[in-house]
Amino acid sequence: MGEDDSFVYDEASGEWISAARAAGSADDAANGPVEVRDAVGNLLANGDQVTLIKDLAVKGAGQTLKRGTLIKSIRLTGDAQEIDCKYDGIKGLVLRAEFVRKR
């Protein structure tokens, strides 16, 4: 039984995959985190403050966040266009990076 015949359990997908494929996905993760950029191209990081550049209706919350609203302490999600935010009265707020500008 050679190395090509061995399999490992991938917890992310819940499947058994070949060891060679698992080594390849580990290399992909080592390439670094996804770069998240705001509407004008500034690089965003965890803990940054952002300002909304347009009015956004928040589904499920029944309110609209107005242009110029300050969002404090964002968190990156691993997606190049989504950021996780906290705002008073809205739980689990996720904004698209194209609608914010770094403060």
* Whole-number pLDDT of residue 28: 52
Model confidence band, residue 24 (pLDDT cutoffs 50, 70, 90): low
Name residues whose C-beta falls within 8 Å of residue 69's C-beta, 6 or more positions apart in sequence: 51, 52, 87
* Whole-number pLDDT of residue 18: 75
Q: Rounded to an integer, what distance in angstroms lies between the CA atom of residue 58 and that of residue 86?
A: 13
The pairing of strands 82-87 and 90-96 is antiparallel
* Whole-number pLDDT of residue 53: 97
71, 95 Cβ separation under 8 angstroms? yes
pTM of the complete model: 0.66
